[in-house]
């Protein structure tokens, strides 16, 4: 059984959930997906851990690293795993960020690698998805079309390694056809639209809490 942990702060419709779904579709075995919540059921997770040889974490990049609730969860798991033989389990980790560059998830992946070493699991692979928010907004486009070509390729490669329980180098994904400059324009427009939706004026986005 493959155990998928979704570390998004959003309860539903998160980008992490979207990317996990793509990976899930490639896997042909029993999968259990768990959303990391502050009040998780540790007893059930212990049962699941005993039945799995493959763990996948997916999460958004928060302040250049792993979101706080995911760290908390990892500490709890480490306590449980201490003194137990975990060497039959592979760990895979997926980070996605709003920034253009997939590589900005590299530190998040390193944190997951350090945790993996502490717990005695085998490191599988990390994937860092850049422009995560943009990809999330394009979820209606058939995967592999237009700017999502690299995304499809990266996630399928990641899924293949999960399937084969293979260790491989990290994958970093950026949209094709969209340059960094184009990204900047489109993404900043996105914030203006979000503000408008909330009845916030464009100028108010730059509001300062102190006078300077």
Partner 1 sequence: MKLIIHDLKEEQLENFYLAGDDDKIVSKENKIHKCIGCFGCWVKTPGQCVIKDEFQKMGEWIASADQVVIISRCVYGSYSPFVKNVLDRSISYIHPYFTKRNGEVHHKSRYHRQQNFEIIFYGEQISFEEKETAMALTKANAVNFNTTGITVKFCDMEGVTI
Binding site for partner 1 (CB under 8 A): 8-10, 14, 38, 60, 62-69, 71-72, 74-75, 99-101, 104, 106-107, 110-115, 117-118, 180, 183-184, 187-188, 191, 194-195, 197-198, 200, 204-210, 212
Task: Pick between residue 66 and residue 171 the one whose CB is nearest to partner 1.
Answer: 66
CB 70, min distance to partner 1, A: 9
CB 109, min distance to partner 1, A: 10
Phi/psi at 53 (5° precision): -120, 10
- For 54, 57, 137, 147, 194, the CA distances from 114, given in Å and listed in that order, are 17, 14, 32, 33, 37
Task: Pick between residue 145 and residue 202 the one whose CB is nearest to partner 1.
Answer: 202
Q: How far apart are CA 114 and CA 68, in angstroms?
A: 16
Count of Cβ atoms closer than 10 Å to residue 87 Cβ: 10
CB 198, min distance to partner 1, A: 5
65 closest CA partner among 37, 35, 101, 95? 95
Task: Pick between residue 84 and residue 201 the one whose CB is nearest to partner 1.
Answer: 201
CB 65, min distance to partner 1, A: 5
Task: Pick between residue 31 and residue 69 the one whose CB is nearest to partner 1.
Answer: 69
CB 85, min distance to partner 1, A: 20
For 85, the token pair is 């033989």
Task: Pick between residue 25 and residue 64 the one whose CB is nearest to partner 1.
Answer: 64
Q: How far apart are CA 145 and CA 113, in angstroms?
A: 32
The beta strand positions in 52-120, using DSSP E, are 54-60, 90-96
């Amino acid at each position: 059984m493959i155990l998928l942990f979704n570390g998004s702060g959003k309860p539903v419709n998160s980008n992490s959930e979207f990317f996990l779904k793509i990976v899930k579709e490639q896997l042909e075995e029993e999968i259990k997906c768990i959303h990391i919540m502050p009040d998780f059921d540790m007893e059930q997770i212990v049962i699941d851990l005993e039945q799995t040889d493959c763990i996948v974490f997916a999460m958004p990049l928060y302040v250049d690293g792993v979101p706080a609730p995911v760290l908390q969860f990892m500490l709890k798991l480490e306590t449980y795993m201490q003194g137990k033989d975990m060497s039959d389990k592979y760990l895979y980790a997926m980070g996605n960020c709003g920034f253009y560059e997939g590589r900005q998830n590299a530190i998040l992946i390193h944190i997951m690698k350090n945790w993996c070493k502490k717990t005695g699991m085998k490191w599988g692979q990390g994937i860092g998805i850049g422009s995560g928010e943009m990809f999330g907004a394009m979820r209606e486009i058939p995967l592999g079309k237009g700017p999502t070509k690299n995304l499809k390729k990266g996630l399928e490669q990641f899924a293949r390694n999960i399937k084969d329980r293979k260790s491989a180098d990290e994958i970093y994904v950026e949209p094709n056809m969209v340059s960094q400059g184009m990204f900047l324009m489109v993404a900043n427009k996105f914030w203006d639209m979000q503000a408008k939706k909330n009845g916030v004026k464009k100028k108010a986005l730059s509001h300062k809490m102190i006078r300077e």
